[in-house]
Structures are given as C-alpha cells and as structure tokens.
Structure 1
Amino acid sequence: MDRSERVCVIGAGYVGNGVAGALTRAGVDYDQLEATDRIGGNWSHGVYDSTHLISSKTSTQYVEFPMPDDYPTFPSRQQMLAYLQSYVDEFGLEQRIEFNTEVVDVRPVDANGMAGWHVRLASGEVRRYRAVVVANGHYWERNMPHYPGTFTGEQIHSKDYRRPTDFAADGRVLVVGAGNSASDIAVEASATFGTADISMRRGYWFIPKTMFGVPVSELDRVWWPMPLQRAAFKMMLRLSYGDYESYGLARPDHKLFTRDVTVNTSLMYALQHGRVVPRPEIERFDGPTVHFTDGTSSDYNTVVWATGFRTRFPMLDESMFVWEDGDPLLIEHVLAPRFANIYLMGLVAPRSGAGRIISHGAAFLAEAIDAQPRFSEPLADVVGRWIPARSSMLAGSAEILCRIRLLRQGLRALSAAAAMRPTLSPVRTPAPKEQIPS
C-alpha cells in the first residue's frame, strides 16, 4: 500500500505519543502503529504495580500538557497511565493509532532511504512511507546473565515482575542488579518477607530522589561543566548518605555520571535496618544454593534478574548501524548516519525526567521530516559534518535541550539555504510551526 506522503510512527508509548502530538501540531500526515491493544508502552506492560516515577512530575510531563495539580511529586504507575491517556485524548491522537499492528520489517526503498521506506506488518501487508520514526522503546529484550551451575528455584526478570505474589511462597529472594528496578524489588521483597538479598557485581552510584527537599531531577535545568557537576553532586551525596561502605556497599568503581546512576531512597533505609542484605557478584549455582565471589553462600527459592536490557531494533536490518558497547552510533540520539528519513526516538537516558526532551525533540523531528526533501543527501550526513555520532545514551537534560535548540536553529538556516538551490526532490511547503517554544 502506497502511503508515501505519510510518516510511520512505530509505538504508542510515552515517546511515540509525544512524537504523534508534535506531528499533529505541525500538520504532518502520519500513521501510528502499536503492537499491543493499548497505549502506554513500558508503563502499560513493562513495570511492576508499585512503580512510581523516579523523576518529578514537572520534569516528566510534556511541555505542552502539564500533569494535574493534584498529582504528587512522584506519580504512580496508574497516575502515569491516566496522564498518558489524557494526553492522547486532549490532542485527538487515538483515532490515528492502529492497535494490534506489529511491525516486523522496515527497509529503505532505495539504498539510503531518500525515496522512503517499506514497512511490513505481521499480517503480511507492506506499506510505503516517506519516513519512519522508531519509538518502540529499548526496555524489552531482557539481558539475562549466565553463571556456572543450575539454579532449581524460580527465576524471573524484572520486566516480568508485577507484584509480591510473583515470588515463590517461601520468601527467600535474591535480586540481582543495582539499578532502580533492582532496588525497588529488593525493598518490596523485604517488606513482604522481612528480608531480602541484593547481589551487585561492582560499586554503583546511588542518589536520593530528593536533596534538601528538592527532587534531584529538578537540579538538571541549567548546563554547567561536568567537573563542577560531579564535585557538587559528590558533596551533596556525602551530606545525604555519607560513606557507601557504612551501608555494606562497595565504593563506585567509575566516575559519577559515566554510567547510569540509581535514584532511590528506600534501599538505603532498608540496608540500614538490615531488611535488605548486600551480596557481591554470583560465582555459581548449586541447586537452591547461590555461591558468591567472596566465598559466602546462601539458599534461595526466587532469583529476580534486574539486569537490564539489550538495545535492539527487531524490525530493522541492524547492520545498517555501527555498534559500540552494545548501542548504535547516532547523531543526537536520533539520526542514523548514512540514512535518510529514519529517526530513532527515545534512545537517551537523561539524568532527569524526559518530558522536556520529548516535547522539544519531537518538535525538532517534525521540522527535520519536513526539511529532508530539500536536501540531496541524508540529513544525518549534513548534520554529521558538525556533530559526531556517538553511542552513549547518557546525557544531562540541560545539555540535550541546549543542543536541540541549536539543532533547530541550524536546521532552519540550512533549509533556507537548500531551498535556494536545485535539489533532487521538490521543495515542500513548510508546515505550520509547532506550539512548542523554541
């Protein structure tokens, strides 16, 4: 089916709906395809019942649609889902969403996507679109470590955990990992059974959800040099938590902000009260017994693997990317070098809520989609002459927002210059400007 005047948006979660909202406001025609029967993405089918935001509502909400005043500082999963539904309702997006429509293959019409993309659905239908936005999220392919031996108890990945009834009834729980999910699940297991263990293979940085009464996500609004950020945060962490070793935790083995940090307050409380017991990395399994690298061992009947995810794009030919440390090299987390009209949204792990990044980033995306026909080469390669591709998802929100603002200004200047000289494609009439402030 030829839909070559439309854009295909894959996914109807937090990011996908933000993109759909921006395209709607910019007057860009699109289809939105969702593999499941509802909106919400990971918030609908990938988090446990007791999940709350780790970023504040003001840093998580879309710029163009604030969360309700009566929402708490850190809304619950149910409140987040209600908010995402109200966003879809407010901007009339649901009528454009095709539910239960799985995309299984996305390939360029020509060598580099300048002529558009073919999208094949699980039903066998093949459509042609002018551009594709991949917003299916990166929290879905489970990372499952392997250790020698066999564990005879229950095993579950954090993505599949919903509530304490998912633990084996005897209640001897080992959570493996040190991220936000690992911390929450370990605390929930300890509250259910009185105690739980958590295995960490190295030292990690733990940051409280608030400092001096202010959500830490609100501290990332103004850009300042990384050495100063590290020095300031380390001083505040020392005042808030003291020495990690006093909690039984290893010292972090990497610089602050070079890897994901864990934003959690309840774990430190549980560690101090002996409800959660830290363990080192697993060495091997022996039936119900888990042996650790420090020579200790203990029996468990449930192991929860809170060990993260692998970045994958099952509908794309992944050889189109250059991979580094398990992630693709992208320009500003969105543009794929050497390819046109393909955009990957959501591959960023900001140190605060993603609301402003999604709103302003989606507005830039709407402009980029409209501008691509003015160029005789992929826009990614045009931008790539000034901005190098990189693989890391980590970034400060203030830093990203500053770059998005500069990108939009640069894109407008480049588009104006390109429109004044012949191109391989006709110039499109600019779409109405979006309502997001520059």
Structure 2
Amino acid sequence: MDNKPAQERRETWVPGAVIVGAGPSGLAAAACLAARGVPATVLERSDSLASTWRHRMYDRLALHLPKRFCELPLLPFPEEYPTYPSKDQFVAYMEAYAAAAGVAPRFGATVEEAAFDAAVGAWRVRLDGGEVLMARWLVVATGENAEPRVPDFPGMQKFAGCAMHTSEYKSGEQFAGKKVLVVGCGNSGMEVSLDLCRHGAKPSMVVRNTVHVLPREMFGLSTFGIAMALLRWLPIQLVDRFLLTAAHLILGNTGQFGLRRPKTGPIELKNLTGRTPVLDVGTLDHIKSGKIKVVGAVKEMTRQGVRFTDGKEEQFDTIILATGYRSNVPSWLKDAGDLFTREGISKVPFPNSWRGRNGLYTVGFTQRGLLGTSSDALNVAKDIHCQWRERDRSAINVLEISNSSF
C-alpha cells in the first residue's frame, strides 16, 4: 500500500460507492443505487460512456436478443426501436439511461489500483494521476470484455498483410475483392464473415472446435425467448433436445459444412463453460453456398498468409482475429478474495456472483449478458442500500444519545 502522506496522495472520501466502469453494468449499478438514494462515483477510463459499444463494435452489429431481454432496470427501450436494436440505437439508449438516472461519470479516470484498507474499513482506489478515492463500497463493473484477446500465433510478425482484431473492424467495405481470413467462429466471427461477404470480399473462417449454431428465431419467435419459457417447466436437457431438433429442421445438418456440434447441449454448455451458442443471422446460407469458406485451425502465419494444422498453406490479404475479449480486473483489483479467478472471471456461479467481502461487489460477470447485468445491479443496490440505511440509523442513535446527555 502507498505509504506517502495523505496530502501527497490527495485522498478524498466519497459518499456511497465507487463504481469502476461506465458501460451498461456500471450505469445500471449507479442508476439502481440512485433510485434508492445512495450516491455513487462512476469512474470511466475512456472519454465516453458505453465506450466498448461506441468504439470497438462493427457497424452492422445489432443485438442478437430481442430488446425486452436487453433493457436495463428502470428504463425500457423506446417503443419505436425495432425488436433487435442496432449498435447506434443501443448507445443512444445508454445515453438516455444515464441522463434519466442523473448519472454523470468521471471520464478519463483510469484506475491503477483498488485495495481494501482494513484499518479504516474502506477501499482505496488510486487513479493514474495519483488521486486516491476512499469509499465504503467498491463495485467492479468493467465487465468480462474489457480488453481484446489477441493470440500470439507463431510467425505473426512475418505476415506482410493487414492483421487486426475485431475491435478495430468497422465494415467490410474496405475489403472488397480481397481474401480475408477470419479467425474465430463465435457470434462476432460469424457476423464479420457475413459482412465481408456482403461487401464483395472473399472470406474464410477458422473453425477449430465444435460449435452450436441456432437460428435467431424459430417459428416466428425468438429462440432465446422460447428457451427461457421452456426452462420454467422443463429440465435443461429436454429444452436442449427441443432446440437441437428444431435447429436441425430449420438449418439442416451443420456438421456437413464444417460446423460440428458439441455433445453437450447449447444451454447446458453455456452454464458449464460460458460458451455462447451462435445465433445465425444469415451466415450459414453463405457457408452452404460456398461464399464463406470454413477452414481448420491455424498452425502459424507466413509472409503471404497462413499454414494450417493439416499442412496446407493459403495466401490472404487480411487476417481478422475474432478471438474475443478478456477481463482486465487482475491488473488493478487487489484483495479480491474468493470472488475472481486469476483471469478475472467470477469464481462464484450465477446468481450469487455479485457480492464479495469487505464491501466488494461486481456487476456484469455472470456470463449471462445484459440479463445478468440487470440482476446483478438490482441485487447490489438493494444490499448496499440496506447498509446505507443502517449507517443512517446508527448516526441517529448517536445523535439521540448525545442529546440526552444535556
């Protein structure tokens, strides 16, 4: 812990909670606390709220789930929004959400370290400029997707073409006529491949492992909505069996196109590993037609392209890494106790992953998207509010005792 005098550390006690992150998780936590009369200081390292959505997502992105499953507590999406709002519409919703709740984050505030000080019973949150904020409660809301996950392929420095992560990709327009390798077959990899195809590029998509591909809608209804409804009455295994049977009827045998399914069903696999099934928005048709080529795992990069694990080599103009994101929590949070793994993922399964020890809370680490975020935010606000009220009652009792002595 920093041993400099308090004057040099510029320590400031802040009322209520310190929330790290001004994405959906941080805004939801702040809004729910504000609704209960508990103040919060929201710290955001970038220059805007919802910065990941604003700056790191591709242009064609829309929510993969219907908006009713993605709205945050206390404010629904506008009625005029489509069922699957676009990226820009979601950012606008976030701005309206913050304004409605009166949440004003501190932008450009990068947290270098947060550690619990047992001597004073508070969290010390040190910013990159040296300022130290002290608060009774700390809410970690930086999320599971704070930093791009970039694999270090052998020969990566040799590649003469353009290599980028999907966080840098905006549109396939600039890749028209070019051979592009997309590394990864999750929702981002599938959708980037589709976008490239629609802009006249020649995409190949790396599929290393098994993957569940489901239609985004079944029989005119949201696949996710159907699954949630069935889970109220049926065990996971039966719901998975229904989803896979329906998916086979609608999509056919995906295995014959290089998209082999895992032995474990999609919902059970999500609960066990966090792996999200792909909700198809048109990519599969282009794979079936041959416009998107499915290839195996990459062994190494070469000057002109890549060498695959089967020994084949192929030339590419561009390589796009759809390899996901990772948590940055281990780089700044100390004294996390039993709440986080060394990779910054919650150790505690949903729905009890939101509370740690010594006033430490998390929002958005459930691997359950915006639904999990909403659940966390409501729970965190309720729990902190109970302690906040207890503090007020204690202050009133002290005042009454003090007054009675005169």
CA distance 1:206–1:54, change in 2 (3 Å) = same
**Displacement of 1:63:** 4.2
Partner of 2:171: 163
Partner deviation per Cα, 1:244-265 (whole Å, 9 max, x = no partner):
1233323435442313211222
**Residues 65 and 87 in structure 1, CA contact (< 8 A), matched pair in contact too:** yes
Corresponding residue to 1:315 among 324, 329, 332:
332
Corresponding residue to 1:109 among 89, 98, 117:
117
**Displacement of 1:235:** 1.4
Partner of 2:31: 21
* Residue 235 (1) aligns with residue 245 (2): yes
Corresponding residue to 2:204 among 176, 192, 197:
197
CA distance 1:151–1:274, change in 2 (3 Å) = same
**Residues 354 and 376 in structure 2, CA contact (< 8 A), matched pair in contact too:** no
Partner deviation per Cα, 1:338-361 (whole Å, 9 max, x = no partner):
x221111101222xx624x43343
Corresponding residue to 1:206 among 200, 213, 216:
213
Corresponding residue to 2:363 among 345, 364, 368:
345
**Residues 7 and 129 in structure 1, CA contact (< 8 A), matched pair in contact too:** yes
Structure 2 counterpart of 1:341, which letter? G
Structure 2 counterpart of 1:15, which letter? S
**Alignment TM-score, normalising by the size of structure 1:** 0.78
Listed as ranges, the gaps of 5+ residues in structure 2 are 1-10, 270-274, 397-406
**Displacement of 1:429:** 8.5
**Residues 156 and 304 in structure 1, CA contact (< 8 A), matched pair in contact too:** yes
Distance 1:326 1:255 in 2: 26
**Residues 64 and 359 in structure 1, CA contact (< 8 A), matched pair in contact too:** no
**Displacement of 1:212:** 0.9
Distance 1:196 1:45 in 2: 24
Q: Root-mean-square deviation (CA), in Å? A: 2.6
**Displacement of 1:426:** 8.6
Corresponding residue to 2:255 among 235, 245, 263:
245
**Residues 204 and 253 in structure 1, CA contact (< 8 A), matched pair in contact too:** no
Distance 2:12 2:94 in 1: 31
Partner deviation per Cα, 1:202-234 (whole Å, 9 max, x = no partner):
120011211111112322145342112211111
* Residue 269 (1) aligns with residue 279 (2): no
Distance 2:387 2:309 in 1: 54
Matches within 5 A, 1:174-189: 174-189=181-196
**Alignment TM-score, normalising by the size of structure 2:** 0.84
Distance 1:153 1:45 in 2: 23
* Residue 6 (1) aligns with residue 22 (2): no
Corresponding residue to 1:148 among 146, 154, 160:
154
Partner of 1:392: none
**Displacement of 1:193:** 2.6
Partner deviation per Cα, 1:363-404 (whole Å, 9 max, x = no partner):
221121234589xxxxxxxxxxxxxxxxxxxxxxxxxxxxxx
Corresponding residue to 2:145 among 139, 155, 180:
139
Question: Identity over the aligned pairs, expressed in percent?
Answer: 26
SS at match of 2:113: strand
Distance 2:167 2:337 in 1: 28
**Displacement of 1:129:** 0.4
Matches within 5 A, 1:73-112: 73-94=83-104, 97-110=105-118
Distance 1:265 1:56 in 2: 13
Partner deviation per Cα, 1:319-341 (whole Å, 9 max, x = no partner):
745627873413622223xx221
Structure 2 counterpart of 1:90, which letter? A
Distance 1:194 1:277 in 2: 12
